[in-house]
A and B are shown apart, each in its own frame.
Chain A
Amino acid sequence: MKNMELRLKLNGEPRHWTIAPGDLLLDVLRREGCYGVKRGCEKGECGACTVLVNGKAIDSCLMFAAQAEGCEVTTIEGLADGDTLHPLQEAFLDHGAVQCGFCTGGMILNAKALLDRNPHPTEQEVREVMAGNYCRCTGYKKPVEAVLAAAAPRKAAHR
């Protein structure tokens, strides 16, 4: 099959890549150096490959790269503002919500998508959404606490 051109915005920067039609978004992002996008199952079950496409959290192993044409894609690498971490990243560190860190990027992006549409979720709402991010280390207690803590000050900080 012939290669094709892909234009999208990655973490705010315009990008232009040559891809094969069957390339998965997961594989293309990792190939382009976004190693924070993790391969956990390749079946859309574990959520380690979660990225934001036009603000929506999706499993990048279930999306062809070609489907991201013209989209804004955010990976975990794009969340901090220079050396200033995003409040979710700060909260994950402060609450001990990171252990091995393999699922963390996907978890934080999924939480960001949630807080962007629902700035003050209940614990149950957080748990429902984060059920899409498998974690084998934390038992989810501290990640859920971190998301709830990040949600609280966001109102004041208008972030």
Chain B
Amino acid sequence: MNTVGHNVRKVDGVKLVTGRPAFTDDIHIPGMLIGKILPSPHAHARIRHIDTTKAKALPGVHAVLTYKDVPRVPHTTAGQAWPEPSPYDTYLLDSKVRFVGDRVAAVAAESRAIAEKALRLIEVEYDVLPAVLDIEKAMAPGAPVIHDEPDSTKIYDARRNIAGYILREIGSVEEGFREADLILEREFRTGRQQHCPLEPHVTIAWLDADGRLVIRSSTQVPYHARRQCAMILQIPVSRIHVIKPRIGGGFGGKQEMLLEDICGALTLAARRPVKIEYTREEEFYMARSRHPQILRMKMGAMRDGTIVASQLTVLATTGAYGSHSTTVQGNTGSKVLPLYRAPHMRFECHVVYTNAPVAGAFRGYGCPQGFFAQETLVDEIARELRIDPVEFHRKNVIRLGDIDRLSAQLGEGREGLPRHIRSCGLPECIDRGAAAIEWHRSPDLCGSSHLKRGRGMACTMQGSGIAGIDWASAFLKMNEDGSFFLQVGASDVGAGADTVLAQIAAETLGVSLDKIVITSGDTDVTPFDVGAYASSTTIISGGAVKKAAEKVRAQVLAVAAKMLDTTPDKLAVGDNQVFTICECAKSVSMSDLALHAMYKEKLQIMDGASHFNTDSPPPFCATFAEVEVDTQTGHIRVLHLVTAVDPGTAINPMQAEGQVEGAVAQGLGYALTEELVLDDAGRPLNPNFRDYKIFTAKDMPKLTTILVETDEPLGPYGAKSVSEVPINGPAPAIANAIFDAIGVRFRKLPIRPEDVLREVGRTPSSARDPLVALFPLSSSQSL
């Protein structure tokens, strides 16, 4: 391999390190207005009266929109393939608001100051309604009904605030638990994490010379955004052009049609270009977050450590709207439980509405919650059985040749497809990770009685694209200098997709990387792609690129065969030329060939291809953490975090490592510091970087990243995926390491110093198992 598998520089790197204008907001359009959204101050209210007269009269204001001015089209903001499995419960603007931050009105004005003043001039009278913020009270009889409107669809049970419900079972857990020697059942809780992309959501819209609506947006899903905007604004898809420039991080938060619709509506109303850019504060509560969950997990194991049954029961909240509600939670079961070969599995989940900020897609997509529960419980079972957690994992994890039958039952909001394990580097991930953290070394003595050290581990997996649903296409054409234009609908949001896709094209065409010029994510220019999510880009979009490149290579070889007076089967590409594979050693350079094709043969060498998979090969990961807990202050310091990942082939190992390290940093925050906190009225208390702590360079532990490469038959050049799976491991590995250090189990994220202090203050017996009293175990617990 000349390009694939090499640490090439990022193809868009130079413009990024030199600060050239590449992002959504890095353009100036004459006459551009600033759009602002009036957020609801109430968690739940009906708009009794709204008067925009004063706002409209303010000089410099060009449009003010309320629910009275826009079409009422039920939809979901989730950027998913049509037909979206998420409920259609959202409206461009509505007469009812359902969380603090919900849209009340929108304005477009000549400056931000005027727009902000106009918002203050909008007179709104609310009928404030009782709100429900507690996830456990949302389904209770008498709870306020959040979606009482008649026109929303696909809600599981609107009267009980249930957005979605899932129940799947393979085998019989009842039978499995009867067989088990040990059964443990525990409850876990996870927090509301926010994506915090350094670039907040921003959209600029304008009408082009033909009157078409151009939407330049920080999105992971340009094609879905186009389709959704067409439906919401009631204009044809052909009249919308969505452009995805460089994106300043997405992590799932931009797998959402969030500002494109309202920015488009303001543009159509004002007939002027409009920009809407969230402030950091708005990004925290008016964008999306990770679904908070309460998970009850029960596992049964035999004395020898064989897991026989696992049961996960989840209560999750999607906030005020059901974006990604059933699909995220479906993953909590379908990608988590099958990590182990238990014959009996059961997953049940209610996803409820609350009057809280809206949850959505977030790197890991339901798996971080599920693996926190499963891997913490597995650690507890292993220790109860006096089996080394490393051994326990080795014994139970899914293997090459296995078929995950839960995935067949539980797909993207509907039945799925069985998952065949055709590549699996997990045993090696466990071995190499354990070696890197020195698992069998006895713990360091810190020389101080209040500093306790411990180590913990977790195993996790994910998917690579959504089986049978995610698809992508690519188009290639040759230029007369022997270079190629590669056009892909795939959306590089910073993770390096453009580079990886260009590497696949270069490798297949036998040219150097500089001969590939890539354009991505422009609905007028590039062919379709579902977008950047579900760890799909490398395997699905990469598969499309490889297919397109193979078709173009065949055309190249046909021309070369004529030029070299031979047949295509005697030719190969490489080194920017086509050469014979016989002794005659003839060759033609790609540039000579291209000139010949264009001006002698009158032929544009070009072709495209579409690609999808009917399976979603899981990447695997073993995470190991070493922590130091200060029992006087409660401070938890992660000393070393080892992540060993099987991504299939790493198309660009350096970039793959970067994906691991970035995911781990977010996973550390999820474990220890990050949670958007709401007060009793549903108002965010910490929507800023001072009070919502993400890890900085000086907070990070030592990171060790190990790539355990395998060869996946379904992936281009053997690749699977890498960007999501490493985020799942830090929280359970750290929780297990904390237990190893101080003997206390933490089952709620994030684990804060005050939690540690509270627990170490208790008596040793209650400290070891604070939840036993709350959730009595089944009688078969004893060995």
Contact = CB atoms under 8 A, between A and B. Distances in A.
Nearest to A96: B654
A46 interface: yes
A127 to B, nearest CB: 4
Interface string A61-89: 00000000000000111011000010001
Interface stretch (B30-38, B243-251, B548-556, B627-635): B243-251
Given A100-B493, A101-B246, A141-B661, A35 B13 contact: no
A56 interface: no
Contacts of B700: 127, 139-141
B20 interface: yes
A98 interface: yes
Interface in B686-725: 688-690, 694-700, 703, 705
A79 B695 CA distance: 28
Nearest to A99: B494
A146 to B, nearest CB: 10
A23 B780 CA distance: 70
Centre residue among A35, A95, A102, A103 by max chain B CB count within 10 A: A102
Contacts of B665: 136, 138-140
A86 B22 CA distance: 20
Contact of B662 (A76, A99, A108): A99
A102 B492 CA distance: 13
Interface in B148-200: 195-200
B529 interface: no
B57 interface: no
Given A100-B248, A101-B246, A89 B17 contact: yes
Interface string B652-663: 001101101111
Contacts of B199: 38, 40, 100, 102
Contacts of B779: none
Contact of B696 (A41, A93, A100, A134): A134
Size category of the binding interface on chain A: 35 or more
Interface in A81-127: 85, 89, 92-96, 98-105, 108, 124, 126-127
Interface string A138-150: 1111111000000
Nearest to B495: A99
A101 B16 contact: yes
Given A36-B19, A38-B248, A45 B658 contact: no
B762 interface: no
Given A100-B249, A127-B700, A136 B198 contact: yes
Contacts of A135: 198, 697
A137 interface: yes
A13 interface: no
A35 B698 contact: no
B689 A134 contact: yes
A96 B10 contact: yes
Interface string B1-35: 00000010110111111111111011000000000
B198 A96 contact: no
Q: By DSSP majority rule, is chain B's interface helix, strand, loop, or mixed?
A: loop
Centre residue among A45, A98, A108, A130 by max chain B CB count within 10 A: A98
Contact of A85 (B12, B18, B661): B18
Centre residue among B7, B277, B665, B694 by max chain A CB count within 10 A: B665
Interface in B227-256: 246-249, 251
A152 interface: no
A143 B661 CA distance: 11
B697 A126 contact: yes
A137 B659 CA distance: 7
A130 B199 CA distance: 18
B637 interface: no
B328 to A, nearest CB: 20
B133 to A, nearest CB: 27
Interface in A34-64: 34-43, 45-46, 48
Contacts of A35: 19-21, 23, 25-26
Nearest to B726: A139
Contacts of A34: 19
Centre residue among B279, B280, B698 by max chain A CB count within 10 A: B698
Given A45-B690, A77-B19, A131-B698, A139 B493 contact: no
B424 interface: no
Nearest to A144: B697
Interface in B480-512: 493-496
B430 interface: no
Contacts of B664: 139
Centre residue among A34, A75, A89, A96 by max chain B CB count within 10 A: A96
A21 to B, nearest CB: 14
A98 B698 CA distance: 18
Contacts of B198: 38, 40, 46, 48, 100, 102-103, 134-137
Contact of A101 (B200, B248, B690): B248
B616 interface: no
A46 B481 CA distance: 44
Contacts of A138: 658, 661-662, 665
A42 B196 contact: no
Contact of A139 (B21, B698, B703): B703
Interface in B376-430: none
A96 B694 contact: no
Interface string B43-66: 000000000000000000000000
A105 B657 CA distance: 21
A135 B665 CA distance: 9
B197 A36 contact: no
Contacts of A76: 17-19
Interface string B662-689: 1111100000000000000000000011
B248 A98 contact: no
Given A93-B13, A96-B657, 10 more contacts: A36-B18, A46-B689, A76-B18, A99-B494, A101-B22, A102-B248, A134-B198, A137-B658, A138-B658, A138-B665
12 contacts: A41-B280, A45-B689, A75-B19, A76-B19, A77-B20, A93-B10, A96-B654, A100-B198, A101-B16, A102-B23, A135-B198, A138-B658
Interface of B: 7, 9-10, 12-23, 25-26, 195-200, 246-249, 251, 277, 279-280, 493-496, 654-655, 657-658, 660-666, 688-690, 694-700, 703, 705
Instruction: Give the top 6 A-B pairs by smallest Cβ distance, nearest first.
Output: A36-B19, A100-B494, A101-B16, A102-B248, A139-B661, A76-B19
